[in-house]
Structure 1
Amino acid sequence: MKSSTISRHVRESFKSIGRNGWMTFASVSAVTVTLLLVGVFMVIMMNLNKVATDVENDVEIKVLIDLQADSKAETTLQQQIKDMPGVESMKYSSKEQELNGLVKDFGEDLSLFKQSNPLRNVLYVKAENPQQTATVAKKIDALDNTYEVLYGKGKIEKLFNFLNISRNVGIVLIIALLLTAMFLISNTIKITITARRKEIEIMKLVGATNWFVRIPFVLEGMWLGLLGAIIPIAVVTILYSQLYSVIAPKMKGEIFQLLDVTPFIFEVDLLILLMGVVIGIWGSFMSVRKFLKI
């Protein structure tokens, strides 16, 4: 296709947007509202997914070492756990370190136990896949020189089930919202093109090819998608930046953290922009097709 033809199509798409002011406004408004809903929901779900991931990554197995185990036996146990499939990391904590931690958390009264420490040496183990924590814990429990293996049995399984269900529900809701957005936007664009069916019929009758007729409408749909994405991008960026500046300092040091503004918000903005463009092009392409059969 010649560059002059492409330039003509671009000019025609812009002129069409200007000539059909109210229909353009209706289409852009539909794109804006639906993409704003999609953008806000994406920000919420991606942060909830991060919270779920943080919870999973915080899960660890606490291995209490038998009091009868000497230093050689403890070394052997540590090596066995390190070599075990599915283990990501392991940290050793002596009973003195454990007692110091309790004194720090619950007060100096517990320092009286330093004369006769009743605690045990401990190994803190993390599984490569948090969902496999229970499986790894059972394997460790079968090893020699372990007194007790703690990982929140019963509760941790319920937690992971809840997180998996939450993720699946979030994915379904996002897909449903995207399909709804595609339906609303494409139908609004279809109304715009239907109102101009006579223009398409005349172009066909004078010998214009299908692609010659279609390209200006496809470009117009792309411009409508771009215009409709501007406000959602601005609103989502400003709101999330403000929310982050208020909440992030209060959550500093906590397990749960919001996703950093950059690059997260730019990724969301890019997704919103791409959705607007793709849905606009798709809606125009599908809508104009039915009027090309003359």
Structure 2
Amino acid sequence: MLKNRPYYNNLLQKINEHHFFINIRRIWQNTVMNLWRNKYLSLASMALIALIIFIFNIIIFVHEISNNAIENFNDKVDIIIYIKDGSDFVEVDNLIEELRGFKDIKDLKFTSKEQALNNLLDTFPEQENPFEKYGIENKLPANIQIITNTPKSHPQIISFLYEGQYSHLLKEVENNKENQKLAQKLANITDASKKIIMGIIIAFLIGGFLIIINGVYLTIYSRKEEINIMKLVGASYFYIKSPFILEGLIYGSVGAIINILLVLIFVKNFQINEVGLNIQNYNYILLFLFEILAGAILGFLASLIAVEKYLNE
């Protein structure tokens, strides 16, 4: 008998492995049967989860488009300071240095009278120098062009210019108010989209939980007699609850996959690239994988709660 013990141990291990795979197959079969028996409920649950995640993705697109548009506006000149002729260059340099100290000023460029004239002639090469033509001196003023990080900083900068010690240097300050208003509106949209994204995340968690819990609970209720019989014949707790947990996991993950298909259709038909957002610059594959994982985890936890609640009653 001792000589044959390794043989019997090996045989017992194979039998256990065989039973394990049989149980896995039966759990999967029971899961598919649950989904098929309640196919309309299953489809509705997956569709609702897909819709919630899809709305979340649309808000992300709106948020990214707004951010992209704001960046484009921020790369344009916001404020132009025209300097009076005959101004002290030392004072002008001091003004430029103090402006560079503003944290909201992204870029700053000084253009002298001569450079301003050269820029004009480069812009209209077919035109001769109008000042030489009529024998008058260059009337174009030197200027300082400012690009800011945000339109919200404009009032502070303009107040500094007009009310500070360098106000006597100013001939005129030109503020691109139209761009400022539009950029401010886009900034408001971006701020609102952040709040909406947080709201949808909360709605997804709560709504997804309720949808999956109710779906799994209804499935359990429809099979309560079978569950009671399995308890009586000594079926393991793992064997009884696994099909329902797997069902919830499928609800969440398949709902997320349906959402991805909806997003791809949306991107293709609404031509997102034409509104200034190049989706190739964003790693949406990671976002989609995260959404599938989040849906699966949500489905697992929700179905686990439903199963534990029912089996402990």
Considering the TM-score relative to the shorter chain, is it more than 0.5? yes
Question: Which one-letter code corresponds to 1:49 in the other structure?
Answer: S
Q: Which runs of 5+ in 1 are unaligned?
A: none
From the superposition, tell whether residues 260 and 205 of structure 1 become closer, same or farther in structure 2 (CA, over 3 Å).
same
Residues 1:150 and 2:150 aligned together: no
Q: Hey, what's the Cα distance between the residues in 1 that align with 2:267 and 2:130?
A: 50
Secondary structure class of the residue paired with 1:124:
strand
Matches within 5 A, 1:166-181: 166-175=189-198, 177-178=200-201, 179=203, 181=207
TM-score (norm 2): 0.69
TM-score (norm 1): 0.72
How many equivalent pairs are there? Answer: 283
Question: Which one-letter code corresponds to 2:33 in the other structure?
Answer: R
Cross-structure match for 1:291: 310
Decide which structure has the larger Cα Rg and report it: 2
Cross-structure match for 2:63: 46
Q: Hey, what's the Cα distance between the residues in 2 that align with 1:7 and 1:113?
A: 93
Matches within 5 A, 1:91-106: 91-99=109-117
Q: Which runs of 5+ in 2 are unaligned?
A: 1-15
Is the 1:92–1:124 contact (alpha carbons within 8 Å) kept by the matching residues of 2? yes
- Residue from 163, 173, 185 that aligns with 1:162: 185
CA RMSD after TM alignment: 4.0
From the superposition, tell whether residues 83 and 291 of structure 1 become closer, same or farther in structure 2 (CA, over 3 Å).
same
Is the 1:62–1:149 contact (alpha carbons within 8 Å) kept by the matching residues of 2? yes
CA drift of 1:291 comes to: 0.4
Q: Hey, what's the Cα distance between the residues in 2 that align with 1:98 and 1:186?
A: 70
Report which stretch shifted further, 167-176 or 269-278. Answer: 167-176
CA drift of 1:159 comes to: 4.2
Cross-structure match for 1:23: 38
Question: Which one-letter code corresponds to 1:133 in the other structure?
Answer: H
Is the 1:65–1:148 contact (alpha carbons within 8 Å) kept by the matching residues of 2? yes
Cross-structure match for 2:300: 281
CA drift of 1:135 comes to: 1.9
From the superposition, tell whether residues 108 and 162 of structure 1 become closer, same or farther in structure 2 (CA, over 3 Å).
same
Q: Hey, what's the Cα distance between the residues in 2 that align with 1:210 and 1:46?
A: 46
Matches within 5 A, 1:99-138: 99=117, 112-113=130-131, 116-138=137-159
Secondary structure class of the residue paired with 1:269:
helix
Report which stretch shifted further, 96-105 or 186-195. Answer: 96-105
Q: Hey, what's the Cα distance between the residues in 2 that align with 1:108 and 1:187?
A: 76
Question: Which one-letter code corresponds to 1:280 in the other structure?
Answer: G
Q: For residues 179-211 of structure 1, what are the alpha-carbon distances to aligned partners after superposition, in whole Å with 9 as ceiling and x for unaligned?
A: 265244543344333323444555566777877
Is the 2:113–2:142 contact (alpha carbons within 8 Å) kept by the matching residues of 1? yes
Q: Hey, what's the Cα distance between the residues in 1 that align with 2:28 and 2:174?
A: 67
Q: Hey, what's the Cα distance between the residues in 2 that align with 1:293 and 1:136?
A: 67
From the superposition, tell whether residues 65 and 206 of structure 1 become closer, same or farther in structure 2 (CA, over 3 Å).
farther
Q: Hey, what's the Cα distance between the residues in 2 that align with 1:195 and 1:222?
A: 19
Matches within 5 A, 1:215-230: 215-230=242-257
Question: Which one-letter code corresponds to 1:163 in the other structure?
Answer: L
